[in-house]
Chains A and B, each alone.
Chain A
Amino acid sequence: MQKNEIRSLIYNLLPRYSQGAEYHKEVIDRAIEKAINQLYTETFLRDPLSIQRYTKRFGTTAPITVSQDAIAGIYYSNYPTGVQPVPLPDKAAGVRRVTTPAQGGIKFYPLDIREFELITSGSYYSLASGIIGYVPTRERVEYYNMTAAIVATGVRMDLLVPFSDYEETDQILIPENPNSEGETFTDMVLKILGVIRPIETKDDNVTTIETAKQ
């Protein structure tokens, strides 16, 4: 489903307490995001390899730029504008895959910052060629063993994007499996919203304005 269709579904499943009382769009979006993130995490914990199916690929039209932090001596890429990937509890976090624009050859493996430091302090791994390590941090993705050729061409990334960072017409894939309590996606969202009283929101919570029916 598209992002706006998912929101519409939830909106129309919500109970109407009164004609003018509505849930704020941001509240609905955040509730949806929280439920999807929870499903992503549970799906990942069941089978880490399956989470790749729910990612969005960036850098296909124009590759993501690889820059150098001259002071730190580190190569890095910024996340695509307006995207902060869902931080899953493993090294790759929300950056599930990094590749060169031309597929094959060079491999990118996720590292944590501890490994990053240990590798640079001397290891067999540092002798391997054709392998680049990447460390997803809050601000950017940092690389180990980056080559000049890849800096020139840029990279692609498969990111696990939170609901609020999708475009309105983006197709969003949601795990269909229920959570550990047997609740499906809509159950989870409605449960979150069930404890929040709807408010009149048509004019940014100003109570004196008439509201139109949806």
Chain B
Amino acid sequence: MATDALITLDQVVTRFMLKYRLPTEDAVSYFEHAANCLRDYYLYDAPDVRMSKSTINTLSTNVGYITMPDDMVSFNGLAKGIDGQWWRFTEKSDMVNTTTTTGGVEGVDDDFGEGEAIEDPKTDTYGGVGGVNDYYYMLDWDARRIYTEGISSGTVALQYVSSGVETSGDTYIPEFITPLIDDYLLWKMAIMRGDLKSEQLRERNFTRSELKIRTLINSMTYTQWSDLFASLCSQAPMR
């Protein structure tokens, strides 16, 4: 049986020190840089989007909010499962996102427009304005909340990009990105040592590794290509 496809970030750093005959003296720095590399990989390279079932905290009958997960570094989408498919929410950046706390309890002030339903100029006749949705969201990065409108309770699917580093328990990563992290660490080691010549060479090596991995993760399988061609064809009578 082959080795595991997922390994811990700690294992990557340990193997790095083993491979390059490095003392454990700078293990802390290596670990920090490896975590940064992993975050960058998820942000810029990986197609991975973490799906999380998130509970909506009710503010009013129309409005609620979701607390962003601790590891969320970028937002990808909010959706509700309807008839086996995702119904995606639409961003409404000017949605009222303030709340009013009374007697230690967070709530909404109707007079200030808080918790009110968004009125869409909806019409089903010619000339009606398009781009309306039943569900809206508003990102509040400062409060690390996602406000929802159209749904104020229950559970929705939050799709986001994770920092990749778990806040509790081990952080598992795909084993095939080990060379990427190795090259990143070698590059950062050159910076720490002030070795400008090596720094440039190692940055180039890192870029090559990144391109190699992008090629791998973005390439399509035979079945995917086959499905793509098949989807572009239409049936016709054989003559």
Whole-angstrom CA separation of A109 from B17 in the bound complex: 12
A129 x B169 contact (CB < 8 A): yes
Given contacts A115-B28, A124-B31, A125-B32, contact A90 B10 (CB under 8 A): no
A111 x B167 contact (CB < 8 A): no
How far apart are A11's CB and chain B's nearest CB, in angstroms? 37
B153 in the interface, Cβ–Cβ < 8 Å?
Answer: no
User: Secondary structure at chain B's binding surface: helix, strand, loop or mixed?
Assistant: helix
B24 in the interface, Cβ–Cβ < 8 Å?
Answer: yes
B28 x A119 contact (CB < 8 A): yes
A91 in the interface, Cβ–Cβ < 8 Å?
Answer: yes
A127 x B25 contact (CB < 8 A): no
Specify which of B10, B24, B25 is in contact with A128 (CB 8 Å cutoff): B10
B171 in the interface, Cβ–Cβ < 8 Å?
Answer: yes
A127 x B28 contact (CB < 8 A): no
Q: Which of A49, A111, A125 gathers most chain B CB within 10 Å?
A: A125
Given contacts A124-B32, A125-B28, A127-B165, contact A107 B23 (CB under 8 A): no
Considering the complex, give the chain A residue whose CB is closest to the CB of B21. A49
Whole-angstrom CA separation of A174 from B82 in the bound complex: 75
Considering the complex, give the chain B residue whose CB is closest to the CB of A90. B25
Whole-angstrom CA separation of A127 from B24 in the bound complex: 18
- Number of residue pairs across A and B with beta carbons under 8 Å? 48
**Which residues from chain B contact A48 at a C-beta distance below 8 Å?**
23, 25
Given contacts A107-B14, A130-B10, A131-B10, contact A125 B21 (CB under 8 A): no
Whole-angstrom CA separation of A127 from B23 in the bound complex: 21
Specify which of B25, B32, B165 is in contact with A92 (CB 8 Å cutoff): B25
Considering the complex, give the chain B residue whose CB is closest to the CB of A115. B28
Considering the complex, give the chain A residue whose CB is closest to the CB of B170. A129
Within 8 A of B (CB), among A112-139: 115, 119, 123-125, 127-131, 133
Whole-angstrom CA separation of A17 from B14 in the bound complex: 58
A110 in the interface, Cβ–Cβ < 8 Å?
Answer: yes
B23 x A128 contact (CB < 8 A): no
Given contacts A124-B35, A128-B9, A131-B10, contact A110 B25 (CB under 8 A): yes
Considering the complex, give the chain B residue whose CB is closest to the CB of A133. B28
**Which residues from chain B contact A110 at a C-beta distance below 8 Å?**
24-25
**Which residues from chain A contact B171 at a C-beta distance below 8 Å?**
127-128
A128 x B31 contact (CB < 8 A): yes
Given contacts A109-B28, A130-B10, contact A90 B23 (CB under 8 A): yes
B23 x A124 contact (CB < 8 A): no
**Which residues from chain A contact B36 at a C-beta distance below 8 Å?**
124
What sequence of 0s and 1s flags, for each residue 46-72 of chain B, a beta carbon within 8 Å of any chain A beta carbon? 000000000000000000000000000
**Which residues from chain B contact A124 at a C-beta distance below 8 Å?**
31-32, 35-36, 165
Whole-angstrom CA separation of A84 from B10 in the bound complex: 32
Q: Which of B28, B36, B171 gathers most chain A CB within 10 Å?
A: B28
**Which residues from chain A contact B27 at a C-beta distance below 8 Å?**
109, 131
Whole-angstrom CA separation of A183 from B168 in the bound complex: 54
What sequence of 0s and 1s flags, for each residue 1-36 of chain B, a beta carbon within 8 Å of any chain A beta carbon? 000000001100010000001011101100110011
**Which residues from chain A contact B14 at a C-beta distance below 8 Å?**
107
Whole-angstrom CA separation of A129 from B9 in the bound complex: 10
Pairs A–B under 8 Å by Cβ, sample size 5: A92-B24, A110-B24, A129-B169, A130-B10, A131-B27
Which 7 A-B residue pairings sit nearest by Cβ, starting from the closest?
Answer: A124-B35, A109-B27, A109-B24, A125-B31, A48-B23, A91-B25, A125-B28
Q: A107-B14, A127-B171 are in contact. List 5 more A-B contacts (CB 8 A).
A: A109-B25, A110-B24, A124-B32, A124-B36, A127-B168
